[in-house]
């Protein structure tokens, strides 16, 4: 069975060219880049090259790139740093739809006495910027708003948000979790209001276990990991050289493929969306009226369970994911769809397809062929579904 992988917001295939780039740095060129000898020095050169490549994709300078272990670490490092830089400030602003890498940390800080404002979203997943304007005050240490949502693909107006933070924030830091945006849409830190940005290698065809914190020049920073002087004392720990080199290559390729992402990949997503809506009654797109990433489709089918859809699709070789998280044995609809006010019956039956440059038209055709009978079958099995279909 050929697998049809449409779960690229969860993780991506390592590009073979990326793998080839990193391969020598395990068994042959395994020197420590901090070593004085030639053997470490040649690795240091490749790490520098990778730093340049990442910076190029972001429109940043190489000194602004700090390698970390993952997107989660970058998010945690950014928020904790802001609170250490401003120990007297006790207010954090974020959104209700952040990834747990931000939301769980903020909620934990909330339990430890910080005031946390979680901005609301409307039914399409969009923020109300007036709510941000009203929330920000001289006690705000950091505003952390994701660039694009991992479940719906909804893109936030990061530069407009940054302007508000700069105007009203009295020096508050502005951080964005751009884990889902980097490589999919163009970013330019040179002209941006962002102080700190997180990205993760495994979302853009590099391996798991490598991330970046972009740290604007001049922005004060307190490191999350302390110890050695790696990454100019901004992140201690011997560098994950092979993964860093891989991420550099992945960023170079992402820049090359950006047009494809916004052309061919978007066209495949749009076709999938249009044909599923035409073939399956009582389906709606989550965030369909908002600006979205070109690769993401979150679609809700009333009166069916997302998990059941995924299981049946998986039997056909199709990998997608649902908008639900299985918590303590009960099926909770996702916090993102709940924040958007998606009705319970739709939130439960939501499925996310997320594409990449490695998908092709035959994948889209297979999903369009296999999904409608799956939904039909599940609706026939469900007492609610039958009642609803009989009407």
Distance CA 140, CA 194 (A): 16
Q: Residue 99 or residue 235: which is nearer to ligand PLP going by CB?
A: 99
Distance CA 240, CA 207 (A): 11
Return the residues of window 101-130 that contact ligand PLP according to CB under 6 A: 101
**Site for ligand PLP contains 183 (CB under 6 A):** no
**Site for ligand PLP contains 193 (CB under 6 A):** no
- What contacts 42, CB < 8 A, 6 or more positions away? 29, 31
Candidates 65-73, 115-123, 161-169, 266-274 — which segment interacts with ligand PLP by CB under 6 A? 65-73
**What is the contact mask toward ligand PLP in residues 43 to 62, using x (rule: CB under 6 A)?**
--------------------
Candidates 66-74, 273-281, 295-303, 351-359 — which segment interacts with ligand PLP by CB under 6 A? 66-74
- What contacts 17, CB < 8 A, 6 or more positions away? 249, 253
Distance CA 206, CA 198 (A): 15
Alpha-carbon Rg of the chain, whole angstroms?
22
Q: Residue 145 or residue 179: which is nearer to ligand PLP going by CB?
A: 179
Q: Which of 43, 53, 64, 72 binds ligand PLP (CB under 6 A)?
A: 72
Question: Quick one: DSSP state of residue 96?
Answer: T
Q: Which of 180, 295, 324, 354 binds ligand PLP (CB under 6 A)?
A: 180
Angle between helices 266-279 and 361-381 (to 10 degrees): 30
Return the residues of window 195-254 that contact ligand PLP according to CB under 6 A: 200, 211
**What is the contact mask toward ligand PLP in residues 126 to 165, using x (rule: CB under 6 A)?**
--------------------x---x---------------
Distance CA 94, CA 82 (A): 13
Question: In the complex, what is the shortest distance from the CB of residue 71 to ligand PLP, in angstroms, rounded to a whole number?
Answer: 3
Class of residue 191 by CB neighbours under 10 A (exposed 0-12, middle 13-18, buried 19+): exposed
- What contacts 179, CB < 8 A, 6 or more positions away? 71, 99, 101, 146, 150, 198, 199, 200, 203
Q: Residue 12 or residue 276: which is nearer to ligand PLP going by CB?
A: 12
Q: Which two tokens stand for residue 341?
A: 């006010």
Q: Which of 22, 60, 70, 189 binds ligand PLP (CB under 6 A)?
A: 70
- What contacts 38, CB < 8 A, 6 or more positions away? none
Q: Which two tokens stand for residue 203?
A: 């979302």
In the complex, residue closest to ligand PLP by CB: 71
Candidates 175-183, 218-226, 243-251, 273-281 — which segment interacts with ligand PLP by CB under 6 A? 175-183
Q: Residue 180 or residue 192: which is nearer to ligand PLP going by CB?
A: 180
Q: Which of 46, 99, 175, 234 binds ligand PLP (CB under 6 A)?
A: 99
**Site for ligand PLP contains 179 (CB under 6 A):** yes
- Among 106, 251, 319, 326, the active-site one is 326
Class of residue 298 by CB neighbours under 10 A (exposed 0-12, middle 13-18, buried 19+): buried
Active site residue 27: no
Binding positions for ligand PLP, rule: CB under 6 A = 70-72, 99, 101, 146, 150, 177, 179-180, 200, 211
């Amino acid at each position: 069975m050929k697998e049809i992988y449409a779960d690229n917001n969860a993780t991506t295939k390592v590009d073979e060219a990326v793998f080839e780039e990193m391969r020598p740095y395990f068994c042959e060129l395994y020197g420590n880049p901090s070593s004085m000898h030639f053997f470490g020095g040649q690795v240091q050169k490749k790490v520098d090259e990778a730093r340049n490549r990442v910076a190029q994709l972001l429109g940043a300078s190489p000194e602004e790139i700090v390698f970390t272990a993952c997107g989660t670490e970058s998010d945690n490092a950014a928020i904790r740093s802001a609170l250490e830089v401003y120990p007297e400030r006790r207010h954090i602003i974020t959104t209700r739809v952040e990834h747990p890498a931000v939301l769980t940390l903020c909620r934990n800080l909330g339990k430890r006495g910080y005031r946390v404002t979680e901005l609301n979203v409307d039914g399409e997943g969009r923020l109300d910027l007036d709510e941000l304007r009203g929330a920000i005050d001289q006690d705000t240490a950091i505003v952390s708003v994701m660039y694009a949502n991992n479940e719906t693909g909804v893109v936030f107006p990061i530069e407009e948000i940054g302007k508000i933070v700069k105007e009203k924030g009295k020096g508050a830091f502005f951080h964005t979790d751009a884990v889902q945006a980097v490589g999919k849409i163009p970013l330019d830190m040179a002209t941006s209001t962002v102080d700190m940005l997180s990205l993760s290698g495994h979302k853009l065809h590099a391996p798991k276990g490598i991330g970046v914190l972009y740290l604007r020049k001049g922005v004060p920073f307190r490191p999350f990991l302390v110890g050695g002087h790696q990454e100019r004392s901004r992140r201690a720990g011997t560098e994950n050289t092979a993964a860093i080199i891989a991420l550099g290559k992945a960023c170079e390729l992402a820049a090359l493929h950006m047009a494809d992402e916004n052309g061919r990949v978007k066209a495949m997503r749009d076709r999938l969306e249009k044909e599923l809506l035409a073939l399956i009654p009582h389906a709606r797109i989550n965030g369909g009226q908002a600006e979205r990433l070109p690769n993401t489709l979150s679609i809700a089918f009333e009166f069916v369970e997302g998990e059941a859809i995924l299981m049946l699709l998986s039997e056909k070789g199709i990998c997608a994911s649902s908008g639900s998280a299985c918590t303590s044995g009960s099926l909770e609809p996702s916090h993102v769809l709940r924040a958007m006010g998606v009705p319970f019956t739709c939130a439960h039956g939501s499925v996310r397809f997320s594409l990449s440059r490695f998908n092709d038209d035959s994948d889209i055709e297979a999903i369009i062929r296999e999904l409608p009978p799956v939904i039909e079958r599940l609706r026939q099995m469900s007492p609610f579904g039958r009642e609803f279909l009989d009407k």
